A = this chain, B = another copy of it.
């Protein structure tokens, strides 16, 4: 199988390469797309980043990451909304195919997850007209429940599908195997998501997992059944890229070209069937 359906989340090689080096490496290895993080784009400059992607013929399959609307007060919530609007403008300039949006954590001192979730919904509603006008789809990404307190208060695809139902056009979902593999309702919610699926990220869950943030696994090194999840997602109608997103002290310590060789080999041998 080819790797034409492969994209690289640039967080995977953020310690080895800057944006230009990483995008050039994608072109060199025959990877079709890449998804930069906001700090990587800021370091390079939005206009220059756009040129680098264009010059190398690399699609910008996503832009990481927005959302995180919960804050302790109204001023903080408005600041998050304003910042998300700026990010939408950057995504439009870059030609990013979507922005990945996560729930964000609890505001400082809060123990009220329901309130944080409500603030996420309110923030989304506030930026959605801006995103529609800019023609930048927002890909709502549920995060593994171990991040619910400090990164992603929305843990299930069901909740993100509910938000798509409630708020309408301009929203989709991003399904990252690392975040959803455990979900007993995964098959049902992938089928429900259907054409709303606009992102499919791949990363393995290691046993044991030694760190909550930086011990994610290369496909094949853990326990996720990539083929089974890919089949569900394709049965729902998705035909887009699979984006490799691995945060790992191990892989960050390896030469970038080695990481990309292993990514491509595993994509062929583990993620296709």
Residues of A at the B interface (CB closer than 8 Å) are 105-106, 110-113, 117, 144-146, 148-150, 154-156, 158-159, 181-184, 205, 207-210, 212, 222-225, 228
Contact = CB atoms under 8 A, between A and B. Distances in A.
A209 B145 CA distance: 12
By secondary structure, the A interface counts as: loop
From A181, A212, A223, residue with most partner B Cβ within 10 Å: A223
B150 A208 contact: yes
State the 5 A-B residue pairs at the shortest beta-carbon distance, nearest first.
Answer: A148-B182, A145-B182, A111-B225, A146-B146, A149-B223
A68 to B, nearest CB: 15
27 contacts: A105-B207, A106-B223, A110-B223, A111-B223, A111-B224, A112-B225, A113-B181, A113-B182, A117-B184, A144-B145, A144-B146, A145-B145, A145-B146, A145-B183, A146-B212, A149-B205, A149-B207, A149-B223, A150-B207, A150-B208, A154-B184, A155-B182, A155-B183, A155-B184, A159-B184, A208-B212, A209-B212
Contacts of A155: 145, 182-184
A147 to B, nearest CB: 9
